[in-house]
Amino acid sequence: MNVKGTKVVEFLLSKYLNISKSNDQYRRLGLILITILSCTAVSAFFTFYNLVIDYYPPLFYVDLAGTLLGGVSLYIFLRFRWILLASFILILMVTGVCFMVMVDRNNLDYSLAWAFVAPLISIFLLGYLYGTLYSLLYLAFVMWLSGSNLGVWQPAPWDRDSFSNIIAIYLLLFMLSCYYEASRRYAHQLLQESNDKLRTLASTDALTGLFNRRHMEDLLLNSEKSLFIIMADVDNFKNINDEFGHAVGDEVLISLGKIMQSVAGTDGTVGRWGGEEFIIAINASHEKEVMRFPQRLLEAVSSHQFATGRPVTVSLGCAFHNAKEHRATLRSVDEALYSAKTSGKNCYKLVKYSP
């Protein structure tokens, strides 16, 4: 199915059924619509073929009736949104026309090949269960017709009509298969995007866009690298909320998150620990380098112009993280942070070795 074909389906579903590509019904309705359009187009072609190219009145009237029923099915589908009725009308049209062709032409013109259209279209239109039952019922009729003529029908010549039938069947099944595959890939893409969003939401703080506590806990517990962690707490944050309101308080937290990301760079991971607390995990392969981060962070925060119109400061507790003693390390960092808060704030305290 080419891009134009999928665009036509997308346009019709959007205009008449108000169904967008993101709707969970888009794929099913798209398959039904493309089946209606394709089968009606094939029936219209053979109406023209049996009238103009190879005049044969019996099949001309059969195909004309099929084309009209296809149009009725399309009208009911788009105008009234009676999906099930439109599907039943079309499946009866397709299998009825194919069966009439087989009855009229027997095994001439490779007409029996039209029986292969029924299973695919039945499942597309009626779903797996009812489509399977309908296909088996149709198979019984085909078996009866062909079985009752064993030894009666003679070998069929390969001629223009045979060629036309085989090509038409092939193109119809090919087009429907391509659209099915395109819709399957798109549905899979939507599923992947949805899963990615869920993973992001599960690990991201909604306000700041930083990693949340759960993600940071997993990082600390599972990291094979030596890490230096900085726990940051906003000084007098309650006063900011009380004086300027929670909206300004939220802006302060968002700005602090950006500052911390800027200071940490590619060497560190920043997360919101909860409330006005943040945590930074920095690659500690070079001890002397990481020791510069706390002071740089204090200076970056105190020099920033916040929405409060006055300086905002943070207190920091720092330690080298030991994954085997994760809880003990966090307690040590928390104690260091408390020490920084009680020592005048806007400073950092370091626990050089975790217990």
Q: Which residues are catalytic?
A: 276
Which residue is associated with the tokens 């950006």? 258
Q: Chain-centre distance of CA 177, in angstroms?
A: 21
Task: Report whether 345 contacts 235 (CB < 8 A).
Answer: yes
Contact 232, 280 (CB under 8 A): yes
Q: How far apart are CA 150 and CA 138, in angstroms?
A: 19
d(CA 272, CA 275): 8
Is there a contact between 146 and 112 (Cβ–Cβ < 8 Å)? yes
DSSP β-bridge partners for residue 25 = none
Bridge partners of 211, per DSSP, are: 204, 271
Report yes or no: 321 and 288 within 8 Å, Cβ to Cβ.
no
User: How many CB atoms neighbour CB 149 within 10 A?
Assistant: 11
Residue 269: strand pairing partners: 281
Closest CA to 354 of 262, 228, 242, 248: 228
Integer Rg of the chain from CA: 35
**Rounded-to-integer distance, Cα 351 and Cα 67, Å:** 82
Cα separation, 104 vs 111, in Å, equals 9
> 294: closest CA among 235, 351, 355, 350?
350
